[in-house]
Amino acid sequence: MAFPADIQAVESYRAVRSFLKSYAGNESTFNSYRTHVERLLLWTLTKARIPLLDMRRTHAEEFLEFCLAPDPGWVGPVVKSRFTRLGARKKTASDSYVLNEDWKPFSQSASKEERKRAKEENRPLLQEHYKPAQGSIAQIFAVCGSFFQHAIDEGFCEHNPFRAVKQKSKYKQRTTGDQDTRILTSLQWDFVLETAEQLAAQDDKYERTLFIVATIFAMYLRVSDLVGRENWTPSMGDLRQDGAGNWWYHVVGKGNKAGKISVRDDYIENYLKRWRLHQGLSPLPGFRETTPLIATRRGRAGLSDRHIRVLLQEVFDRALERMQDEGWSDEDVARLRAASLHWLRHTSATFDAPHRDMKDLQVDLRHNSLSTTQNVYYNSEDEKRAYSAKRLPMKERN
């Protein structure tokens, strides 16, 4: 597509590339920021038809409105790669790439729960209108504001149109969202863990799955804490006992920040030892042991993000089937249809919050801010407010 010279497409592209280049050292941040500034660039070129660096406050507000309800042609059912690789099965430096015609700037797919229900009821999926994820508009606002600040610093422009948007604008308001929608009930979690244990008892190939389920839950892990990163592969030696007999899991987390997570005794005794003995290892890890924490069946260190999610999905599916077979109501089983790996982290932290100091839980969850831990897992103000209202009668007040 050729653009008129007056909308300065090349200059706009170079400004965006300069901004993204400053985040090249952090892949997750780069990918997130690219998504948002890429949409902004495309919107200015194809919708607003203005030079990106000439945007004003009204343009910023129009763009944010567009992100709330993008044109249907901008929305795809799943996230697609921007380019398609042409070459042999194994990627090489000589491969060429072409634009992927199926790629869309926005993606919207049916919820996991809807896909499960459609399969159970043998019906087509019900596609909903595009809805931005919780907090995504606030993130778009922040990223685009950062882009223009970078452009000012580099001398590309002299003003930041997103900064001019009113502080109390609806675009900066984060949706409250229901955190408890990503949490299993105690009943559901019991079925999940029992299902993993039953599978392992019936077939030892599921010992690894049981270990993964228990490990994520016991230490509030993200999938990257099991998969590893470019500069770190999780090993048994990352589980270390200190002089006082306490166990810690040493990780490299988001932003390549090193940290350690306290490990509960129940996990060590009943799940770590079991997994190690199954592998023919000593019951407890040795000092600086290099054995992979998890491995493929052929012994290669580490599993992919997708592989781990597939293993856990089977457990969720089997647990759901067990609950349905035992006659539990749809209300009792519903959340299992939507459950994913990350739910185990939230579920465990929610269960543990009443029994742990808030600061200790924050450190183990590796939240940068204590307020994040407090708002998500210690809803004391909500509890007080609910308690003050729930017993008020509808009539005959004294």
19 HSE (CA, 13 A, CB side) = 31
Residue 50 in this model has a pLDDT that exceeds 80? yes
Mean pLDDT to the nearest integer, 27-35: 87
**CATH classification for the domain delimited by 5-69+130-154, as one of 1.25.40, 3.30.310, 1.10.287, 1.10.150:** 1.10.150
Mean pLDDT to the nearest integer, 65-70: 91
| Range list for CATH 1.10.150 in the chain | 5-69+130-154
Tell me how far apart the alpha carbons of residues 203 and 311 are, in angstroms, rounded to a whole number.
14
Higher pLDDT, 280 or 378: 280
> What are the tens digits of pLDDT across the range 166-221?
654 566 554 444 455 688 999 999 999 999 999 999 999 999 999 999 999 999 99
Q: What per-residue confidence (pLDDT) applies to 398?
A: 61
Q: Is the pTM of this model over 0.75?
A: no
Tell me how far apart the alpha carbons of residues 199 and 322 are, in angstroms, rounded to a whole number.
12
Tell me how far apart the alpha carbons of residues 257 and 263 are, in angstroms, rounded to a whole number.
19
Range of weakest confidence among 77-86, 127-136, 176-185: 176-185
Q: What per-residue confidence (pLDDT) applies to 174?
A: 47
> What are the tens digits of pLDDT across the range 317-369?
999 999 999 999 888 888 888 888 989 999 999 999 999 999 999 999 999 88
Is residue 41 helix, strand or coil? helix
- The CA-atom distances, in angstroms, between 137 and each of 65, 85, 311 are 9, 32, 33
State the Cα torsion 97-98-101-104 to the nearest 10°.
50
Tell me how far apart the alpha carbons of residues 199 and 316 are, in angstroms, rounded to a whole number.
12
Q: Would you say 174 and 135 are in contact if contact means Cβ atoms under 8 Å apart?
A: yes
What residue spans of the chain are helical by DSSP H? 9-21, 27-43, 57-68, 112-121, 136-153, 186-202, 207-219, 224-227, 265-267, 273-278, 305-325, 330-338, 341-352, 358-365, 370-377, 380-390
Structure tokens at 26: 């952090």
| Range list for CATH 1.10.443.10 in the chain | 186-384
- The CATH number of domain 186-384 is 3.40.47.10: no
Report percent pLDDT > 90 for the chain.
53
Q: What per-residue confidence (pLDDT) applies to 25?
A: 79
Tell me how far apart the alpha carbons of residues 255 and 27 are, in angstroms, rounded to a whole number.
9
Q: What per-residue confidence (pLDDT) applies to 378?
A: 81
Tell me how far apart the alpha carbons of residues 161 and 56 are, in angstroms, rounded to a whole number.
5
User: Which of 225, 229, 311, 207 minimizes the C-alpha distance to 263?
Assistant: 225
Higher pLDDT, 174 or 283: 283
Mean pLDDT to the nearest integer, 298-307: 82
Q: Would you say 380 and 257 are in contact if contact means Cβ atoms under 8 Å apart?
A: no
Tell me how far apart the alpha carbons of residues 173 and 68 are, in angstroms, rounded to a whole number.
13
